[in-house]
Structure 1
């Protein structure tokens, strides 16, 4: 695994996969590779199912009613997923930390990556730094990695669409 769980990579991968769930093992593998994951074995149907379970659990964390509930849900994910941290090095990637047992299939790796990465993201940036897009008709989950911590939309496209909607609402004569 080449992603740095201290940064935004892991939580952004979770948001990306949650916004458009992979429909096949090939798609899951391609999207994980594109995000920088080193795949150590072929991706199986079990991996796709486990990734879906990881995304379901992660979206529960996103939708938590408050900080305490968010922490409890994330702690459940961490308890299920994480092992003691260990230093490891893949050929050509250098030394880094893994928070999982060795020889785990991709679905389990993703569960752990989402749990640990999200925990680092929330602990480091703030417990409010997960959300759903505020654009009407869009409920895409996102990880707020903005400088200000006030992200309201999943993408610039949704932000622009909402700005146009608000402008038209103000410009329409009553």
Structure 2
């Protein structure tokens, strides 16, 4: 299986790695493999640091104050990460498109995959479809994949917690 760069999977993988960073390169590789990312190069300790540095830059896209800034920041990541699209059957399980040169280290391949996936997510669903949780004591990023495009929380649990807080606040004010 290959992660489809036209869908939301690369953005979900980035969120997973940001919200629960793997402590070792081996666990980074395992998480990527679990997400369906085919790893065809040796994974090194440098990949863990390189991925963490890229994800810090990627959070700059999440935190951009407006669409123009978001696009500029993402274009910078794309320029650092992308190569011309190419068809490949590197794993022998079907032809698919890559936006990176062959043989890149895991961190560089993730940079290309997540950057292109994020660009396609935003261009296809809307530039507002990345954000931070609206709960005051939670700053986890999220990718809005909802039908309506109005997601405000990183999880159902945070949404429910905020609804309870608002309800209790209204009850206290009414008393």
Instruction: Say whether residues 1:131 and 2:131 are aligned partners.
Output: yes
Give per-residue Cα distances to partners, 1:20-77, cap 9 Å, x unaligned: 2221112211211111111113321111111112101110000011011000000000
- Which structure 1 segments of 5+ residues have no match? none
Residue 16 (structure 1) aligns with: 16
Equivalent residues of 1:81, 1:112 under 8 A apart: yes
Moved more, 86-95 or 63-72: 86-95
Distance 1:73 1:114 in 2: 13
Structure 1 partner of 2:25: 25
How far apart are 1:92 and its partner, in Å?
Answer: 5.0
TM-score by length of 1: 0.95
State how far apart, in whole Å, the 2-side matches of 1:117 and 1:89 are. 19
Corresponding residue for residue 96 of structure 2: 96
Kindly indicate whether the alpha-carbon contact (under 8 Å) linking 1:54 and 1:114 is maintained by their aligned counterparts in 2.
no
* Secondary structure of 1:90 counterpart: coil
Q: Does structure 1 residue 154 correspond to structure 2 residue 134?
A: no
* RMSD of aligned residue pairs (Cα, Å): 1.3
User: 5+ unaligned residues in a row in structure 2: which ranges?
Assistant: none
- Is the CA contact (8 Å cut-off) linking 2:41 and 2:103 kept in structure 1? no
> Does the Cα contact within 8 Å between 1:51 and 1:110 map onto a contact in 2?
yes
Distance of 2:2 and 2:42 partners within structure 1: 17
Partners of 1:88 and 1:95 within 8 A in 2? yes
TM-score calculated relative to the size of structure 2: 0.95
* Paired positions, count: 174
Shift of residue 163 of structure 1? 1.1
